[in-house]
Chains A and B, each alone.
Chain A
Amino acid sequence: MTETVPSIHVQSVVKRYGTLAAVAGVDLSIAKGESVALLGPNGAGKTTLVEMIEGLIPPDEGEIRIDGLSWKTQAGSIRGKLGTCLQDAKLPERLRVEEILELFCSFHGRGRERVEELLLLVELGEARRQLAGKISGGQRQRLALACAIAGEPDILVLDEPTTGVDPAARRQIWGILEGLRARGATLLMTTHFMDEAERLCDRVVLMESGRILEQGTVSELLERGGASSLDDLFLRLAGRRIVE
Chain B
Amino acid sequence: MSGRLSGKARARALYLFTKAHLLEFFREPGVVFWAFGFPLLLSWALGLAFLSPKPLGTELVVSQADSAAVRQVVTDPSVRLRVLSEEAAMRALRRGEVAGRIATGPDGIRLEVDTASQDGVMARLLVERTLAGAANRVKVEAPVASAGNYADFLFPGMLALGLMNGCLWGIGFGLMDLRLRKLLRLFAATPLSRVDILLSVVLARMVILPLESGLLWGFGMVVFGVHLHGNVFLFVLAAASGAVAFSGIGVLAASRVGHNQAAYGIMNALTIPMTIVSGIFFSWTRFPSWLHPVVEWLPLTVLADLLRSISSEGAGLAHALPRVLVLLAWGLLAGSVGLRLFRWR
Q: Which residues of A contact B (CB under 8 A)?
A: 51, 54-57, 74, 76-82, 84, 86, 88-95, 99-100, 102-104, 106-109, 131, 147, 151-154
> Closest CB-CB distance, A36 to chain B, in whole Å?
19
Interface centre among A56, A57, A109, A153 (most CB of B within 10 A): A109
* A109-B2 in contact given A86-B186, A92-B183 (Cβ < 8 Å): yes
* A79-B191 in contact given A51-B345, A57-B345 (Cβ < 8 Å): yes
Q: How far is the CA of A228 from the CA of B50 in the complex (A)?
A: 83
Q: How far is the CA of A74 from the CA of B3 in the complex (A)?
A: 9
Q: How far is the CA of A51 from the CA of B345 in the complex (A)?
A: 10
CB-based contact A107/B190 at 8 Å: yes
Interface centre among A51, A107, A131, A153 (most CB of B within 10 A): A107
Which 5 A-B pairs give the minimum distances between C-beta atoms?
A77-B3, A109-B9, A107-B190, A106-B13, A79-B191
CB-based contact B185/A106 at 8 Å: no
> Closest CB-CB distance, A160 to chain B, in whole Å?
13
CB-based contact A90/B188 at 8 Å: no
Of A79, A89, A131, which contacts B182 at CB under 8 A? Answer: A89
16 further contact pairs, Cβ within 8 A, besides A89-B185, A106-B17, A153-B1:
A76-B3, A79-B191, A80-B191, A81-B1, A81-B3, A82-B189, A86-B185, A86-B186, A86-B189, A94-B27, A102-B16, A103-B16, A103-B17, A106-B9, A107-B190, A108-B190
Query: Could you say which residues of chain A place their CB within 8 Å of the CB of B190?
Result: 79, 104, 107-108, 151
Instruction: Judge if B289 is at the interface, Cβ distance under 8 Å.
Output: no
Interface residues on B, range: 20 to 34
CB-based contact A107/B191 at 8 Å: yes
Q: How far is the CA of A106 from the CA of B185 in the complex (A)?
A: 17
Q: How far is the CA of A65 from the CA of B23 in the complex (A)?
A: 38
Of A80, A84, A89, A100, which contacts B3 at CB under 8 A? Answer: A80
Interface contact tally, CB-CB below 8 A: 94
Q: How far is the CA of A95 from the CA of B6 in the complex (A)?
A: 26
Q: How far is the CA of A77 from the CA of B191 in the complex (A)?
A: 8
Query: Could you say which residues of chain B place their CB within 8 Å of the CB of A153?
Result: 1
> Closest CB-CB distance, B182 to chain A, in whole Å?
5
Q: How far is the CA of A88 from the CA of B186 in the complex (A)?
A: 10
Query: Could you say which residues of chain A place their CB within 8 Å of the CB of B23?
Result: 94-95, 99
Query: Could you say which residues of chain B place their CB within 8 Å of the CB of A109?
Result: 2, 5-6, 9, 13
Of B1, B20, B185, B345, which contacts A80 at CB under 8 A? Answer: B1
Q: How far is the CA of A175 from the CA of B301 in the complex (A)?
A: 60
Instruction: Judge if B103 is at the interface, Cβ distance under 8 Å.
Output: no
CB-based contact B345/A107 at 8 Å: no
5 pairs across A/B with beta carbons < 8 Å?
A: A56-B185, A56-B345, A91-B186, A103-B20, A107-B5
Instruction: Judge if B173 is at the interface, Cβ distance under 8 Å.
Output: no
Q: How far is the CA of A84 from the CA of B185 in the complex (A)?
A: 10
Instruction: Judge if B94 is at the interface, Cβ distance under 8 Å.
Output: no
CB-based contact A56/B344 at 8 Å: yes
Query: Could you say which residues of chain A place their CB within 8 Å of the CB of B185?
Result: 51, 56, 86, 89
Instruction: Judge if B292 is at the interface, Cβ distance under 8 Å.
Output: no
Instruction: Identify which of residues 17-71 in chain B touch chain A, using a CB-to-CB cut-off of 8 Å.
Output: 17, 20, 23-24, 27-28
Of B6, B13, B24, B182, which contacts A107 at CB under 8 A? Answer: B13
Query: Could you say which residues of chain B place their CB within 8 Å of the CB of A88?
Result: 182
Q: How far is the CA of A95 from the CA of B25 in the complex (A)?
A: 10
Query: Could you say which residues of chain A place their CB within 8 Å of the CB of B24?
Result: 92-95
Instruction: Judge if B259 is at the interface, Cβ distance under 8 Å.
Output: no
